[in-house]
Structure 1
């Protein structure tokens, strides 16, 4: 039923003049969905208070509660068509009363880790794009069919919302940055193996896929006590996100997975000077897929000891700095990081920094097509801070098929990697490199598999053409980003 509801909402938004893409559908569904969630959240709190013979004070004042403006009821508990706003009346109320009211929560909240602050933050970052009040009425009616009262309902909802994010990621040029394949994230979380009590951080949170999967991993790792549940809710997951839409989607995604007031901050992580990071600011675990291909301005580069325009390289410096001693990380980055630049270059110095400040124990080399719509090849760096790297275990994921929208990466693809990584075993796809054997000037870490048979086999022409098309698209994206900076 929930799946059909989401499809119906997309159909409504497609015919609205204010919504033109999959990104708009997700954004506009998100704010209405959030208000419906908030209504169910308050009802649960009210019921709990009643059972304890306590008084519950609503977060939202009566005029702006869901059952007043969105779905008013008559004396018999049925939808009251006479009281329900629609058309221009509904749009005017939402744009000129509801949104301004909700925006004020950000300034009135006691702290940033409260649900009140998140309400204000979200409604300061977006606007209602649904131009027809009649379409908005239809969307509200559909959203009201959804329930967030049981764990099973929230679980189903989170899967459907993830599917919407994935569709947005497949939608083209701007969507891909919001979606990292969930089988890859789950595998990274399994290898890093966070534990309850760890502070887990993603400084490029996007749709918060890493934080959501880490939450699921820890939530199901054991039978949790009340105090452990409280720790997971309030003192475990932290993120930062620069872009408004990604921030909103990340907050909603975490809420649907069961984190009531996500600790995600809307800010530019790279605007923070590394020298200002203190011990109190550090984390036990970093899980991230920082944006690659971006170019940062000179003033942003001044925040880092190794100055480079490459966004992902700046993020990697940030992650190394913000990890606690003994902290663990799993970070996705372009595979060119392993070999780009000669002696003294920014990339070579960054590789040296990583090897000398952390134990880079594992590199997972991913095939092209892992990220739908992106032609770049990527690797995952697994490292622990505070120990010198002596040996690096490489695993090259070689699949007998081409990856794409209709044939994406799945968890079975990564099962062999997870199994062999436990003991750093050699195989046809894995090998170990002694750091003493690499060039001590360039610190080149190219993933050259000495065990792979038929390494020179020719690629299928269709695969080559697909890769060329993807690279052309990536070049266009980079040129667009450069033109925006000029």
Structure 2
């Protein structure tokens, strides 16, 4: 099935769900499509494992008991392989089974604390924070029948599903309001990952996972060389490479599902508020070699949370910066999206964090993004800071994205608009859009590290007070002379 056909199928399913009394808006129908797609994927995943085991002369131990498997309750088949519509639950029976039996069964998987890395545990973690919102069993039956013939044992179908799922998550972000947490523009993520160049040796962390866009892009980048990896390295990628936290239940569910659907079978994503961790407790074993994140900004945290940080502040963006700085391993690399205010604000807290960043890390690059990158849910001007836990900062290379047209919801940023930055990143080339600033100049600015393109700076003429008064008097004389001439012309007109 092509991406176009799969997209039209998903569009048809969303239209079906919009008619249901339990569904309201993009967040709901994306959530509901997600759990149904996931269970279909899980069924195909288990069937594929069973077939592989059979070829090897072994017997596969199913994660899901027979009663709760897709081809038992959702889409039962006759002996000849045809759909057994007669024995397929529908209406109230189907909704009651899903709500009262299936979901409690899956949610109980999280009690398996012996193996938190297992797929079974991840299933329990997902269904702990999700519920069936579809009120009509007939609607649910219709959705199931539209999904049933998708084959997720096919790598092609699985890849296409991951693309469509990204579009659904993007739709949630474009819905505005609080759903912006789910989606960071993929061109920005792609550029950030490409310049940091993760390898199979890294562990990668995002403390504000959302829909897992950064981790998935890093996974795709690393897997470009999958044919070169050993079995041990592939296991590391699937189980021990990707880490993160997410505070919001729905975002957590979407993020974990998104990673699993992309092929990361056991992502180390945890449902928790990152800022509740005391950064004084971090040891080197807790740190990661690459950090990629777009943390929430504009929020406020209570004093009990602020006490987890060396520099206390109610601003979430400042707390997240400290967290990431302390979470970065020796020699590690980070790329973090932050609001413009972090760069130029100079109150005690902001200045202290920036001093720490410049003195104890190499803040080598700042990418100034254009306004509107995060529309429609935020119009805040943002930047990406790139730093390493290696030495101190000597100078900062700035790159400013200048666009001919203003970004809007319907005209979002494109990767091509970031490509020049990616190409010049290592060279640190000076152009009309990029420049270098020495650390001494930063100190003279009272640690204002905001992007000030020297090409665009207008020279300000500083005059003495007596010179300014003289200029005003000269201007007044010119204005009075012009007014006299206008009056003369008016009088001449009346005389004629």
TM-score (norm 2): 0.89
Task: Answer whether contact 2:317 2:342 (CA < 8 A) is retained.
Answer: no
CA distance in 1, matches of 2:459, 2:418: 20
Superposed, which structure 2 residues align to 1:397-416 within 5 Å? 397-416=401-420
Secondary structure (helix, strand or coil) at the match of 2:61 reads coil
Pairing 1:70-89 to 2, within 5 Å after superposition: 70-89=74-93
Whether 1:232 aligns to 2:242 is no
1:325-344 CA deviation, whole Å, 9 max, x = no partner? 111000000011111123xx
Find the partner of 1:188 among 184, 189, 192.
192
Counterpart pick for 1:451 among 448, 455, 460? 455
- When the two structures are aligned, how many residues end up with a matched partner? 454
2:61 paired residue number: 57
* 2:171 is aligned with 1:170: no
Q: Give the C-alpha shift of residue 33 in structure 1.
A: 1.0
* CA shift for structure 1 position 222: 5.5
2:394 to 384, 390, 394: 390
Work out the CA distance in 2 between the residues paired with 1:52 and 1:161.
Answer: 33
Q: What whole-Å deviation, never above 9, does each CA across 1:432-466 have from its counterpart, x for those lacking one? A: 0001112358311121100238999xxxxxxxxxx
Query: 1:200 is matched with which residue?
Result: 204
Residue number in structure 2 paired with 1:435: 439
Kindly indicate whether the alpha-carbon contact (under 8 Å) linking 1:429 and 1:452 is maintained by their aligned counterparts in 2. no
Gaps of 5+ in 2: 461-496
Find out whether 1:339 has 2:347 as its counterpart: no
Task: Judge conservation of contact 2:18–2:24 (CA < 8 Å) in 1.
Answer: yes
The one of 350, 354, 367 equivalent to 1:351 is 354
Offset of residue 292 of structure 1 = 0.8
What is the TM-score of this pair, normalised by structure 1? 0.91
User: Larger deviation: 433-442 or 443-452?
Assistant: 433-442
* Aligned mates of 2:327, 2:116 — CA distance in 1: 20
Aligned residue for 1:104, secondary structure, equals: helix
Separation of aligned partners in 1, 2:80 and 2:374: 52
- 2:165 matched to 1:161? yes
- Distance in structure 2 (CA, Å) of the matches to 1:266 and 1:111: 17
Paired residues of 1:200 and 1:211 also in contact (CA < 8 A): yes
Measured in 2, the distance between the counterparts of 1:34 and 1:392 equals: 45
The answer as to whether partners of 1:427 and 1:451 remain within 8 angstroms in 2 is no
Does the 8 Å contact 1:330/1:383 carry over to 2?
yes
Moved more, 9-18 or 218-227: 218-227
2:355 is equivalent to residue 327 of structure 1:
no
Which of the numbers 26, 29, 33 marks the counterpart of 2:33?
A: 29
The answer (yes or no) to whether the contact 2:294–2:338 under 8 Å persists in 1 is yes
Partner-residue secondary structure (3-state), 1:8? helix
Per-residue deviation, 1:145: 2.7
Q: In the aligned structure 2, how far is the partner of 1:155 from the partner of 1:138?
A: 24
Q: In the TM superposition, what are the counterparts of 1:68-217 in structure 2 within 5 Å?
A: 68-217=72-221
Structure 1 position 256, deviation (Å): 1.8
Report 1:270-285 matches (<5 A). Answer: 270-285=275-290
- Partner of 2:227: helix, strand, or coil? coil
Tell me the CA shift for residue 224 of structure 1.
3.1
Following superposition, the deviation at residue 110 of structure 1 comes to 2.5
Which of 68, 71, 74 is residue 67 of structure 1 equivalent to? 71
Gaps of 5+ in 1: 457-486
1:291 equivalent among 289, 296, 306:
296
How far has the Cα of 1:386 moved from its partner? 3.0
Q: Root-mean-square deviation (CA), in Å?
A: 1.5
2-structure distance, mates of 1:277, 1:294 = 24
**CA–CA distance in 1 between the matches of 2:37 and 2:259?**
13
The one-character-per-residue Cα deviations of 1:319-375 (angstroms, maximum 9, x if unpaired) are 110111111000000011111123xx1111111111111100000000111112111
Matched, 1:219 2:216: no
Contact preservation (8 Å) 2:126, 2:257: no
Q: Structure 2 residue aligned with 1:370, among 370, 373, 376?
A: 373
Pair 309,200 (structure 1): closer, same or farther in 2 beyond 3 Å: same
Match of 2:308 among 303, 306, 311: 303
Q: Which has the larger radius of gyration?
A: 2
Secondary structure of residue in 1 paired with 2:289: strand
**Segment of structure 1 superposing worse, 435-444 or 89-98:** 435-444
Which is further off, 347-356 or 148-157? 148-157
Change (3 A) 1:403 1:247: same
How many angstroms apart in 1 are the aligned matches of 2:135 and 2:122? 25
Q: Distance in 1 between matches of 2:253 and 2:147?
A: 18
